[in-house]
Structure 1
Amino acid sequence: MATAEPVSPWPSAKGPFDMRRRSVLTAAGAAALAVPVLGGAPAAAAPATAAPATGAPAAGRRGCLDIRGADISSLPKNEDHGAVYRTADGHRADPIRLIAQAGVTHARLKVWVNPADGYNTKAHILPLARRLKRAGVGVWIDFHYSDSWADPAHQTKPAAWAGLDVAGLARAVYDHTADVLGALKRQGTPAQLVQIGNELNGGLIWPEGNWEHFDNMTAFLKAGLSAARDTTPRVRTILHLANGGDNGLYRWWFDNVVSYGVDFDIIGLSYYPFWHGPIADAAANMADITARYGKPCVIAETAYPFTLESEDGVNDIMNSPSQLTDGFPATPEGQAAWLRTVADLAAGVPDGQGLGYCYWEGLWTYRAGSGWDPTDPSAGNAWENLALFDFGDRALPGLRTLGRYRS
């Protein structure tokens, strides 16, 4: 398809980042997740009608989800700082075994290039992948192409890549991707899923690969995709955006990327109800984009609080009743109900095109020194009330729901 000039769906000439973030985000939370308000997108053409997001499987709905994921990126750092995990009745257990027993099929692991604290790198991912293999859990790699968090408001170029031109950056993307995936394959734990970038609303590796430079952005995406397929031919590749209820964003971004000939396998979405709108919007978006692009989708990130209290004194990202979704209280039961609803949402994508979902950082319980900022050992967590373990380290009911729609 011929390339097209990228046209932003946002009215501001500055594009998707000239927006105020939701006031509910604390400074710590904003830096950890940096989810901006993406408003002003024009109404999309009427999407296909989605199946209801609740209830038993209906016609066209999957009876089994291929991907029942859990992002466990924080686990090595948490364990190094003394974290323990317990069954619901208080018995200490291996957290990898606990998620496997709950029905998790894939563990999502983020990869940073050269973070200040040394975590989320190949050195920690390789032993974690071996643990996952022993438990029968597949590996899902999430490349950020940064030394720290990559998300809609942050896509900071790795410091070691600072002097590279566009061709050099594309080569660095290829080499970094191939290095990590090749090492996983050589030790007998090949990745089954791989994300080329994380929450790519505005591109990656800024400024060269931002949304105003789709030619560069797609060159970087193609480099990562090529490395993934060269090292792990059977891997399924994912391109991932945030704001899973924003159909205008998804059409704008994927129309442009597809016009540059980018070949990928799965559309990934982040869908947090407290940031990304009603369930009906997410259902309609997934129905539309799977039909429009002929690709299945996966909810790559979701979460919900089991309490609005904080364990570590940091003002957690979720801390007010006004942030909650109607019908889902901030209780262990409310968290589990949300996970059942998300599983139903994925299973309800028409024509079986919803592959599944992934709970984000369900093992990130509070431990001093294991906070969100890799440059600051004193940083707090801001997420522990959205974990799948309570403040006494006991598994919550939500953990069991991760196996919903297992075969």
Structure 2
Amino acid sequence: MSDSTTSPTPPTARRRRVPRRLLALGAALATAATVLVAAPWATAASTLTNPGFDSNGASQTPTGWSESGTVAASKSEYGGRNGGYHLAHWASAAYTVETTQTLTGLTAGTYTMTAWTRSSGGQGASYISLRNCGSSEVMVYIPTSTSSWTQISGSINVTSAGNCTVVIRSRANANNWINVDDVTFTRSGSTGGGSSTISIRGVDLSALKKNEDKGALYYDANGNRGDAITILRNGGANYARLKVWVNPADGYNNKARVLTMASRIKAAGMKLLVDFHYSDSWADPGHQTKPAAWSGYSFAQLRDAVYNHTYDVLNALRNQGTTADMVQVGNELNAGMLLPDGTSQNFYNLGQLLKSGINAVKAVNTGTRVMLHLAEGGNNSLFRWWFDGVVGQGVQFDVIGASYYPYWHGSLSGLQANLNDMATRYNKDVVVVETAYGFTTAQKDAHENIFNSSLASAGGFPASAQGQVDELKAVYNVVRNVPNNRGLGVFYWEPAWTAVAGNGWDPTNPNSGNAWENQAMFDYNSRALPVVAVLGTA
């Protein structure tokens, strides 16, 4: 444990030009190789020809493989992971190339691909995909900027047609490279079913109660009116997240409201994640404001207040039979909490506050898992800096949470690299605890929306119902491919926060509008969008 009371300056965070929490809502991967434990059901040997690119030595076209695009950029060369040779993609000018192998005569079932990779970084896209297998293409992004061999994996369902193509793809700038070696493609022995699953298919329902009280209605995809929780659960959601504010101006997201919503969530057969903001309003990278009642407290009093508030809410949940399954001690803690006392520039103080909250969680129920949560899920240098700091103070936790909005937080490959590194470096499970995407750029109310045409362009998916589906599927796939089954799941942020008068972003202003309605899972007629059905595809 470090006795230092200060820390280095954190990596620069991307600032958001949006209101409050919606205002402040890649990087280098670990140099250590990620070791993936083989799944116990992976009984078949590789069905690929020349999986290690060794059979014909240094060659323009490795035996068994085909090339398309800038074919000169793809070749086998000396220097494999265990000696011998490997596949290399490189060119002195910008290039796009695919190295592929199609397997035929496969028995229907679930198959898993693994490969060892390393990369210079700088690619527009570099991934290994499983394509034309009879189900949706699975893409596994190659971690960026790591000179050490790192193992990646992905799983897919091969249909009765019995074909599947392994695709190694690079779209890269001049002089950027990837290496790939020791590719495997093995069957689970199952007949049918989807790709490997993740356990948490979550939704944040913090705004739902106020929405309902202000008149919001909800309909399923067939136009039948129903309860939003039931509609989302029937779509496949199995976990709900609720934020807690200390003394909010509008009386929502406080202890009493959380208890009410927790009863409904548990009655629907879903698990519960409680998200403590330790504020009267939004806590995020740009805002970590003390509750008004705590504003004059000494540091010792703040530490006690964190414990007492956390214990009070969680004990009340336990007493009504709705014990929290997981708890966030703080929300998007990039800058720290309860500023300025708990700043991330002083990991000693921050560690004391985090320990106080964590101790309260475990005092109520030792089985409740504790999550620590940062924004900027694609920013590996930030995550390493911050988690090294709190781990150095002896902070004990169970899960690492990341916010990932593709229009703010970088590429999917950056997210994959960061989650892989977090799971391996700290031996922790990881969760994308916030993501969302817009189904349109049009507005429902007069308040300007966060997600607009500019962000849609940056996000890489169309601003459409299908784009929203594709974004969630892509994030699911990233989490699914975290090594050693450490990717627990994904939470979609505020799918039921539709535009109704009186439930805007500012709890102190009943006339404020909603900047989020075009990222909900319900359209402007309050009908469930296709993305609801994606919840169950994890």
TM-score, with normalisation over the residues of structure 1? 0.91
Over 3 Å counting, the alpha-carbon distance change for 1:193 and 1:326 in structure 2 is closer
Of 263, 266, 274 in structure 1, the residue corresponding to residue 407 of structure 2 is 274
User: C-alpha distance in 2, partners of 1:224/1:311?
Assistant: 39
Structure 1 position 393, deviation (Å): 0.1
TM superposition shift of 1:302: 0.2
Which of 258, 272, 278 is the equivalent residue of 1:125?
Answer: 258
Counterparts of 1:377 and 1:93, CA distance in 2: 26
The 3-state SS of whatever aligns with 1:275 is coil
Alignment of 1:104-183 (within 5 A): 104-183=237-316
| Alignment partners' CA distance in 2, 1:9 and 1:204 | 15
> What amino acid is aligned across from residue 19 of structure 2 in structure 1?
A
CA–CA distance in structure 2, aligned partners of residues 193 and 9 of structure 1: 28
For 1:80 and 1:47, locate their aligned partners in 2 and report how far apart those are by CA, in whole Å: 51
The answer to whether the 8 Å contact 2:242/2:275 transfers is: yes
Identity across the alignment (%)? 49
Aligned in 2, Cα 1:379/1:97: closer, same or farther, shift over 3 Å? same
Q: Decide which of 148, 155, 161 is 1:57's aligned counterpart.
A: 155
Q: CA deviation at 1:46?
A: 3.3
Residue 24 of structure 2 corresponds to: 35
CA drift at 1:211: 1.5
Q: Which amino acid aligns with 1:192?
A: D
Shift of 1:322: 5.1
Show structure 2 runs of 5+ residues with no match.
35-116, 118-126, 130-136, 139-153, 157-184, 189-194
Gaps of 5+ in 1: 11-15
User: 1:97, 1:44 → 2: CA distance?
Assistant: 40
Asked if structure 2 preserves the Cα contact closer than 8 Å seen for 1:203 and 1:217, the reply is yes
Shift of 1:45: 4.4
Deviations 1:16-69 (A, max 9, x none): 57x7x34xx3xxx33242227xxxx98454365688686162689982211110
CA contact (8 A) 2:21 2:287 kept: no
Q: Which has the higher contact order (CA 8 A, sep 6+)?
A: 1
Q: Which has the higher helix share?
A: 1
Match of 2:492 in 1: 359
Q: 2:321 aligns with which of 174, 180, 188?
A: 188
Contact 1:47–1:284 under 8 Å retained in 2 = no
Residues in 1 aligned to 2:459 and 2:516: alpha-carbon distance in whole angstroms: 21
Q: Is the 8 A contact 1:267 1:295 kept in 2?
A: yes
Which amino acid is 1:46 matched to? T
Q: How many matched pairs?
A: 389
SS in 1 for 2:524: coil
Match of 1:8 in 2: 9
1:286 to 419, 428, 432: 419
Aligned-partner SS, 1:157: coil
After TM superposition, give the deviation of residue 142 of structure 1 in Å: 0.2
Task: Tell me whether 1:46 sits opposite 2:47 in the alignment.
Answer: no
The answer to whether the Cα contact below 8 Å between 1:47 and 1:287 also exists between their aligned partners in 2 is: no
Residue in structure 2 matching 1:197, options 330, 333, 355 = 330
| In 2, Cα distance between equivalents of 1:48 and 1:274 | 29
Q: 1:57 is matched by which residue type in structure 2?
A: S
SS in 2 for 1:239: strand
Q: 1:403 to 1:2 in 2, by over 3 A?
A: same
Determine if contact 1:199/1:240 at 8 Å carries over to the other structure. yes
Which residue is equivalent to 1:242? 375
Q: Which of the two has higher C-alpha Rg?
A: 2
- After superposing on structure 2, the runs of 4+ consecutive aligned residues of structure 1 that deviate more than 6 Å are 58-62
Inter-partner Cα distance in structure 1 for 2:379 and 2:467: 25
Secondary structure in 1 matching 2:401? strand
Alpha-carbon contact 2:289-2:339 (below 8 Å) kept: yes
Letter in 2 for 1:386: Q
Question: Hey, what does 1:314 align to over in structure 2?
Answer: 447
In the alignment, the residues of structure 2 paired with residue 326 and residue 246 of structure 1 have an alpha-carbon distance, to the nearest angstrom, of 16
Q: What per-residue deviation string (whole Å, max 9, x for no partner) do you get for residues 241-286 of structure 1?
A: 0000000000000001000000000000000000000000000001
Contact 2:453 2:463 in 1 (8 A): no
Residues 1:52 and 1:384: Cα distance change in structure 2 (over 3 Å): farther
Residues 450 and 516 in structure 2, CA contact (< 8 A), matched pair in contact too: yes
Structure with the largest fraction of strand: 2
Q: Classify the secondary structure of the residue corresponding to 2:216.
A: coil
Partner SS, residue 218 of structure 2: coil
Provide the secondary structure at the position in 1 that maps to 2:240: strand
Displacement of 1:363 in angstroms is 0.4
**How much does 1:80 deviate?**
0.5
Report the AA paired with residue 438 of structure 2: P
1:180-229 deviation line (CA, Å, top 9, x unaligned) = 00000000000001000000001000010011221111111001000001
Aligned to 1:13: none
How far off is 1:402 after superposition? 1.1
| Distance in structure 2 (CA, Å) of the matches to 1:325 and 1:304 | 12
How much has 1:320 moved relative to structure 2? 1.5
Partner residue, 1:295: 428
Alpha-carbon deviation of 1:157?
0.4
TM-score normalized by the length of structure 2: 0.69
